[in-house]
Structure 1
Amino acid sequence: MAKRKPAFVLGAILLSLSFVVSACGGTGNGNSPASPGASATASATASASPSQAAEETAIPSASAAAEGTRSYETDKGVVEIPAKPQRIVTDYYGGELLAVGANVIGVEPTAFDNPFLKDLLANTQDVGYPTNVEKVLELQPDLIVVMYDDSYEALSKIAPTVHIPYGTATNIYETVELFGDLVGAPDKAEAFIAEFEKRAAEGRERLKGVVDENATFGIYELTDKGELWTFGDNAGRGGQALYNALKLKMPEKNSNDNQTLQLSMELLPEYAADYMFLTVYDPEKKGEALENLQASAVWSNLDAVKNNHLFMNDFDTFYRYDPIAITEQIDLFVDMIVERTEANKK
């Protein structure tokens, strides 16, 4: 058993990041603080879905450019940023910025594969990875936000550049508050959280009487190398939606102290759950690792497998952990559980 961050997770972050959240599935520990109350203005926006709210608020106001600048403290020192930035380029924070209505004009390439952001990025340019400095210069941003500081010095010569390291925020509440403050839109942050909590409450209500209140739910991932991992509430793969929004129980032996934990097949039964959600990291679509897992006697004897409580989740859909993805994953989980429960009764 290993208690390190899996190498494939780090590789996927570089190639496929959309939590955290979580940043970031994605990863880091922390309990969600109480959500801020929505203002009257925020309440009107919150009636739409997170994707709709982000799309409707992404167009900057004409007067915002005249609102001046402010000092913003970062790990690189204090940066003078626009009070209401109008043209933002980012590497991996597209979803976080869109959640608070920011106008994202450039983002790294894998963001366009994020099923929850595709429509919102219709007018956004691919700035490459590593970030193409010349492309950014062409876009003439007034703010640049980066997770990685590879090109920080060059980018900071183009526009005010804010470095927010991976894992700075540890849940959707902290993430939305952070980015709402960054772009001068705390009202949009409040509206987003209000909608998130509404969707979470509706999801919990739909599951009443469908699953036993003591049932456990586990998130797992198989790699193309045959490694098997289990995930906590803030390592992507839907953990924030499943555990924090829907408040479903993780297996007793699992812990958020180990957001990612590698399992041997011998230990898998100890970390198994009544309901198990499996993603497969298999970029070349070989399928061999999954076939071997399914042929294993240990796997086939798990209660979740025998009771038809095993769910195969699309990697790209559930890997994502930006606030928009987390919110949309709530309904995906609820739909899966309800539909499977009904099917098992037939």
Structure 2
Amino acid sequence: MKRLVVSALLVSVLLGGCQTKSEEPGVIARVNGKPIYLSQLDYKYDLKHDGSEGYVPSVDQVRAEYGQMLGDLIVQELVSQELDARGTPVSDQELKKAEDEVRSDYPDDSFEQILIEEYIDINAWRSQLKYQLAMDKFYREALRPEIKIDYKEAEEYYRTHLSDFYQPAGYRMVMVKGLAEDLVLKGVELYREGLSPEEISTKLRNVSVREVWIRDGQMPASWKPFVETLEPGKASPIINQDKEILCLILVEKKPATLLTPLQAYPKVEKVLLERKLKDKFEQWLDEELKTAKIKISKELLPELEKKRTEDPVQEESQQ
């Protein structure tokens, strides 16, 4: 991938260095004059190694990882600048909406609490979120409109990858599971009334309801006597399993099938689109790197030595 090539190039630049004596403290690189800060790089490094106590990397390992991560940041910055030039940057409203969506998964103020516990700076987190939104927007609005998928190309891919579109025989079922038989039976009743698995799980907090797909030949031995004779829409008797009680509702019993070209098209389109987007992005990046002015500070090297020695010191203090 082009990004790996860029990162390898950056590592070689780091070894040689490119430093301006009057450089602003904390700035480790500039992309067309715009700074990238050491705090951004530290954030990505610490996030990757969160929870990896006892891991003591060598200087070369840290340097390689920092080079890869700095390469990512430089590419993300180039993308952000391209969106700015097109007049379609990630807006404050888009950033807030994305942040609100993340926060909605956490009750009350637990999101801030988690950031504090994990020593995550909210501004560094927002900066990385904005970069990711920019990448998504660039792919969606700048690259995707330029890509066309010809039906002949899709047909050719289908013919040469037939095994990808073979679907083995199996059972699609809804599994209702809990600790009490009456609650499990209540969950089955609600499903038959038309409630979705998510709605049932919300209504009956001690009951788990989810759809499962079991391939023919992979059915648990304890389920076979109850399922093999079921008709679609029917529920099995109560099954006791590892201190839990469950009931299986057969949704569909599917024979082995080969998807037709029409049925397979969404999957074919997805694969071809991902390939073309990757190629298109690498072409764009290749052109950008020919004219982009990228400077990397030699001051980064002492920081790599510091990172490597932090863990051993910490380890000794715990003994």
State the TM-score, normalizing by the size of structure 1. 0.22
Higher helix share: 2
State the TM-score, normalizing by the size of structure 2. 0.24
**Higher gyration radius (CA):** 2
